[in-house]
Amino acid sequence: MAEETQIQQPQVRATAPQSKQSEKWNPFMLRRFVTHLSVAAKKYESKSAAREELQTKLQQIRQLALNKRSKKNHVVEVFADFEQKLLSIMKDEKVLLEEQRKETHELNSLRTQVAELNAKLIELGKEYAKELEEKEMKLMQLKENLASLHIRMSEDTTSPQPASEKKFYRQKRVGEIALRAEGAATEAASPIIQLEAQLAALEQKHKEFAKSGKHSKEDLARVKKIIDAHKKKILELKK
């Protein structure tokens, strides 16, 4: 009979996941890790004990084969016992294989969920980019409205001018404000902060006009309404 092949017992090393110093252990994850480690150790102990018992049976069979005085009934009994033990181990291995397949299925399911979550995050990013673009368009429109309001308020403080001169002055002022708006767009400061500063300056001018008593209350009320509307828009953009 061929010499018995030694069954090497695998070394089980359980390495706990190392967390960063800035992170704290999640109690749920820690309990789950300890439970998984305990189950794995129990499986290994059961598997190791079964292999040791199987090795003992093989040793008995070897001794019977070498002993010429071994009785047939004894040999049959030992072989039957060995067969039962082998079938038991095969059954346990099958159960273990099914558990491994189940764990693999759960892992694949988790990967699918992560992929779906990643897709949702990408979609949210696209929606945020679209919303940001819409806000930028509103900011540009608000700049134009503020520039127009600034021109009207400046004209109220000047002396009466002929229509042609007023038209020329208006066009010149529009050009200057447009250039300032383009320059402001290239600056690092937030457009909303710039608009707030412009609006604060206009609001201060409105207060000065109201104190002077030189302007119609209806006109002042109309300008105040426009300023308040722009302030409301800025608050909406900052949300």
- pTM of the predicted model as reported, rounded to 2 decimal places: 0.31
Domain layout of the chain by residue ranges: 27-123, 129-238
> Which of 13, 11, 12, 15 is CA-nearest to residue 33?
15
Q: What is the pLDDT of residues 106-119, one digit of tens each?
A: 667 666 766 666 67
- Stretch 170-184: mean pLDDT: 59
Torsion, Cα of 104, 109, 110, 111 (10° steps): 90
Among the residue ranges 14-23, 62-71, 132-141, the one predicted with the least confidence is 14-23
HSE value, Cβ hemisphere, 13 Å, CA-based, for 180: 14
Q: How far is CA 217 from the centre of its chain?
A: 54
What is the reported pLDDT for 146? Answer: 76
- Stretch 31-43: mean pLDDT: 57
What is the reported pLDDT for 111? Answer: 66
Residue 65 in contact with residue 83, Cβ under 8 Å?
no
Residue 96 in contact with residue 43, Cβ under 8 Å?
yes
Q: What is the pLDDT of residues 135-153, one digit of tens each?
A: 788 788 877 777 777 777 6
**Helix H or strand E segment including 226:** helix 217-238
